[in-house]
Amino acid sequence: MHNGIFCCVRSGMSMKKYFSIVFVFLFTLNVSAQESDSIMLRKIYTEILLNGKAYEWLEHLSNKIGGRVSGSKEAEQAVEYVTGIMKQTGADTVWLQEVMVPHWVRGLHEVAKILKSNQAVKPLQITALGGSVATSAEGVTASVIEVRSFDELKKLGADKVKGKIVFYNHVFDQTKINTFEAYGEAVRYRWYGASEASRYGAVASIVRSMSSSLDDYPHTGAQGYNDSLQKIPTCAISTMGAEELSNTLKEDPKLTVYLKFNCSMQDSVKSYNVIGELRGKSKPEEILTIGGHLDAWETGKGANDDGAGVVQTLELMRSLKSLGIRPARTIRAVIFMNEENGLRGGRVYASEAIRKNEKHIAAIESDCGSFTPYGFGLEMPEEKKVIIRNWAPLFRPYLIWNFEIDESGADISPLINQAKVPGIGLIVDSQRYFDYHHAASDTFDKINKRELLLGAAAMASLSYLLSTYGL
């Protein structure tokens, strides 16, 4: 540049004219890059929408293998299947990363009944929460205390709670447009509910399912015991069952509830993260991680949570390879194991990345279901958000417009927190997600092929830009 200034002065060109030429040159370069990127994104979307394989892969994962709770034979089958698909995508390298995972077994189907004081009996739809201890062989029968918050429970105290079943009837906040906000408020009753009930002497706990819909599908999920307190059996009740139990309690406060389930925690089991790479051509040491989690609660088929994220990640790899795109930076697809009840896959991956002193430029996760994508959550410093938001015009033709939410994904959270890697989450229309989340209704028939492929195309497009320009 200094030589250019010297030359322009010697030639009699004014500084003003010189900088005008430089500005036009740089502006032209930028416009040219934008046009080139726009063409590439169009190619990615076209390839995936016309030739995408994600839908058929998900059909097999959901219907031929099904629920894939960590440590199960179904999880083992899923690892084998996904490893084969990763190789089919054309990944340069595919390998398995060993992960020791908890092995919780549900056992025989749970039973729950309302026993009214007039001897009438009503069945209830429940499901044991992940990690729960079993009831005794005879089951548990006790009076019920209904609360809507931990504050209500604390005010009741041990005098009114001891020997009873605590029923957390916390209703999803329907005013929350982002349903994950409502979930965030409700899920603490699932996670802490059993231990908080035990603190006051309860013999079991029931939590209203984390759902915005009124149906008869109980939603399971992980819960966490406080090891300093007695571990008591805990389960989720369907939202319709919660309404029925609440209304019946008002009519008959002396009713009791019978619970019986047979779950157990067994020894940890060896499992794997499935990893594949497209090696970067100019900066291979810089890594972009993308992924979803393979494990799923066995109450359903794990189609939306998170089979969708798994096959979208695989589709991303397939489409870039099919288009002949050799990324500048390495794109690494990670199919994580054990997000649902331990996050062991994400933790092992982050630990290994740190141990190897790997340079990760960003991590992207899809774990919000297969629904219509409309943005990316950005969990990173503001100056890096600006870089990604500058690409927003490229995504507008595909109705990807929201880059304002500070959310990413659970599996990549250890990488974000421990290695300070920028995190990104695919944002989708979540209004139906909690109809199916952790429930028997999470089945393949709920998947819309076009929505699923649009999510894969959005992830592939952002991955292309990040691998090209870095962050």
Which residues does the annotation mark as catalytic? 339
Beta strands at 140-147 and 256-260: parallel, antiparallel or unpaired: antiparallel
Q: What is d(CA 128, CA 166) in angstroms, rounded to the nearest whole number?
A: 15
Geometric angle at alpha carbon 416, from 411 and 419, rounded to 5°:
120
Give me the residues paired with residue 380 across strands: none
Instruction: Quote the radius of gyration of the chain (alpha carbons, Å).
Output: 26
Q: What is the dihedral of CA 208, 196, 180, 457, to 10 degrees?
A: -100
Q: What is d(CA 286, CA 421) in angstroms, rounded to the nearest whole number?
A: 12
The encoded tokens of residue 373 equal 């994508």
Question: Which residues, at least 6 apart from 351, have a Cβ–Cβ distance to it below 8 Å?
Answer: 414, 418
Please provide the distance, in angstroms rounded to a whole number, between the alpha carbons at the two ends of the chain. 26
Q: What is the DSSP letter of 108?
A: S
Smallest Cα–Cα separation from 65: which of 38, 84, 44? Answer: 84
Helix (H) or strand (E) holding 423: strand 423-428
Smallest Cα–Cα separation from 449: which of 85, 90, 79, 51? Answer: 51
Beta strands at 256-260 and 111-115: parallel, antiparallel or unpaired: antiparallel
The length of the chain in residues reads 471
Q: What is d(CA 456, CA 451) in angstroms, rounded to the nearest whole number?
A: 9
Q: What is d(CA 24, CA 241) in angstroms, rounded to the nearest whole number?
A: 67
